[in-house]
Amino acid sequence: MGTAVVTPQKINWTNNVVFGLFHLGALAALFVFSWKALAVMVFLYWMTTGLGISMGYHRLHTHRSYRVPLFLEYFFAVCGTLTLQGGPIFWVATHRIHHQRSDQPGDPHSPRDGGWWSHMGWLLVGESKHSDTVLMSKYAPDLAKHRFYIWLNDYHWVPMIVLAVLLYAMGGVPFVLWGIFLRVVLGLHVTWMVNSVTHMWGSRRFATHDDSRNNWWVALLTSGEGWHNNHHAHPTSARHGLAWYEFDQSWIQIRILSFFGIAKAVQVAKVDTALVDRAVPAETAMHA
């Protein structure tokens, strides 16, 4: 795999300080363990990383692989802001750029620029793009039409503060440390693994023009996002785990919503069953 030269950029002190404080808070959580705090963290992890990122920011807001009523779409977006991954317009625009230039010059987080860079280094340098109106209008015009999304993108930190206050009222410092700090740090790293790990390690079913791979353990941690080669081959498919043994929690949840008539226009990749168990040699796929 070739390594591109990354142009030196200024340190993004805001991101560095915030991420640093959250990691310290996550470490502190380990010293105030309680089963109730753990339960709160697990539930919020599912609601924010599962519903907010996988079902919301990614499959719904970015790729429009299914439709839900607007109030539920907004709810998923609010859940997404609770992950400390930015507002919906910023997230969607960044991910659409990734698909457009995947593992090529201009990809925001390709491992060809280094594994650490793709995991989180790209967020630690350069200027914040959270309020970049050019980015909004060019890559996320569908979201930029909604006043709610513009507000949420500008004030994506507000729901986190509200949640922190509620958790403190319910269970004091332990609930805040587990339900905010530790939960956010875990969610950040598993989401970043989709950018780094699933572009470096795993199997390839489809000869896509990038280095995307299917990684089962990343899929387990991310509600199905680890079936990344499948996704890059069929980006608008609501189903990422294409084989019966590829567990895809978000797809199961979308099917449940569809069964009750809540999710509509669900797009699913039509794949030759003969391809499902066929792997593309990594060397061949990398140069496809």
pLDDT at residue 45 tops 70: yes
State the sign of the Cα–Cα–Cα–Cα dihedral 115, 6, 9, 156: negative
Q: Is the pLDDT higher at 176 or at 271? A: 176
Instruction: Report d(CA 117, CA 276) in Å as an integer.
Output: 32
Task: Tell me whether residue 7 is in a domain.
Answer: no
Whether 51 maps to a domain, the answer reads yes
Q: Is the pLDDT of residue 277 over 60?
A: no
- Bridge partners of 264, per DSSP, are 67
**Residue 8: inside a domain:** no
Q: Are 128 and 156 in contact (CB under 8 A)?
A: no
- The predicted model gives 208-237 an average pLDDT of 98
Of the chain, the percentage scoring pLDDT greater than 90 comes to 85
Instruction: Give the pLDDT score at 278.
Output: 58
Mean per-residue pLDDT, 48-62:
98
pLDDT digits (tens, 9 = 90+) for 111-128: 999 999 999 999 999 776
Locate 59 and state its tokens.
Answer: 């499959």
Q: What is the pTM of this model?
A: 0.90
240 token code pair: 């990422």
Question: What's the confidence (pLDDT) of residue 3?
Answer: 41
pLDDT at 137 over 90: no
User: Quick one: which of 264, 202, 201, 224 has its CA closest to 46?
Assistant: 224
Q: How confident is the model at residue 276 (pLDDT cuts 50, 70, 90)?
A: low
**Neighbouring C-beta atoms of residue 74, cutoff 10 Å:** 17
The C-alpha atoms of residue 272 and residue 250 are separated, in whole angstroms, by 22
Check: CB of residue 252 under 8 Å from CB of residue 240.
Answer: no
Is 159 a residue whose pLDDT tops 60? yes
Q: Is residue 246 part of a domain?
A: yes
Q: Looking at the domain assignment, is residue 85 inside a domain?
A: yes
Longest dimension (CA), the chain: 56
User: Span 7-33, mean pLDDT?
Assistant: 92
Q: How confident is the model at residue 6 (pLDDT cuts 50, 70, 90)?
A: very low
Where residue 80 falls among pLDDT bands split at 50, 70, 90? very high
Residue 46 has pLDDT above 50, yes or no: yes
Average pLDDT over residues 157-170: 98
61-65, 153-157, 227-231, 283-287: which range is least confident on average? 283-287
Domain that holds residue 132: 13-286
CB 199 within 8 A of CB 228: yes
Q: What pLDDT is attached to residue 2?
A: 41
Query: pLDDT value at position 280?
Result: 57
Structural domain count of the chain: 1
Under 8 Å CB-to-CB from 70, ≥6 apart: which residues? none
Q: What is the mean pLDDT of the chain?
A: 91
Query: What are the backbone angles phi and psi of residue 248, rounded to the nearest 5°?
Result: -135, 90
- The answer to whether position 148 is within a domain reads yes
- Specify if 4 maps to a domain: no
Give domain status of residue 200, yes or no: yes
Instruction: Please give the residue that has the higher pLDDT: either 91 or 137.
Output: 91
260 pLDDT band, cuts 50/70/90, is: very high
The string of DSSP codes covering 114-159 is: -HHIIIIIHHHBS---TT-HHHHHHH-HHHHT-HHHHHHHHTTTHH
CB 81 within 8 A of CB 88: yes
